[in-house]
Amino acid sequence: MDSQEALFSDRLRQIMKDKNITQQQLAERIECSQPAISQMLNRKCRPQRKTLDKIASALSVDVLELWPDLEIIHYMDEIAAAESDGYVMSESEARGLRGNSQPRSSIRGKPLRSRKDLKTNDG
């Protein structure tokens, strides 16, 4: 992902320079703060897809000019949303997904303990 972020920040910086648009002007156009634009340019944060769409629209460019591999960023946004939704999977759901793919220790040949088991037995 680092190479995609670097490419994005380089392209954004160049487009802004070509169009003579400041960070503050872009921030106003997409309704965010100037420090947020600075963070994107300095690769301190990764913009969400909707932000990319706003930036592309504000700069009158195709979003693919900014970030050509949108499938990856969309996938990362989905993961981030899933992690922040507060949903906790039940043991039965996890077992259903896990099936026979439970990792096994090559040393003992036993299933690895789950995080829940570790907390219960060690805590």
Q: Which fold has domain 2-84?
A: 434 Repressor (Amino-terminal Domain) (1.10.260)
pLDDT band at 60 (very low <50, low <70, confident <90, very high): very high
DSSP assignments along 38-68, one per residue: HHHHTTSS---HHHHHHHHHHHTS-HHHH-S
Cβ neighbours, 10 Å, residue 2: 7
What is the DSSP secondary structure assignment for residue 113, as one 8-state letter? Answer: P
Decide if pLDDT at 103 tops 70: no
pTM beyond cutoff 0.75 = no
Average pLDDT along the chain: 80
Domain edges within the chain:
2-84
CA distance 41 to 20: 15
CA distance 10 to 105: 44
Q: Mean pLDDT throughout 41-70?
A: 89
Q: Mean pLDDT throughout 18-47?
A: 94
Nearest to 16 by CA among 45, 48, 38: 38
Calculate what percentage of the chain has a pLDDT beyond 90: 37
- Whole-number pLDDT of residue 32: 94
And the tokens for 45? Answer: 């944060």
Say which residue, 74 or 1, is predicted with more confidence: 74
- 């990856």: which residue's tokens? 72
**What's the farthest any 2 CA atoms get from each other in the chain?**
64
Decide if pLDDT at 107 tops 60: no
pLDDT band at 49 (very low <50, low <70, confident <90, very high): confident
pLDDT band at 55 (very low <50, low <70, confident <90, very high): very high
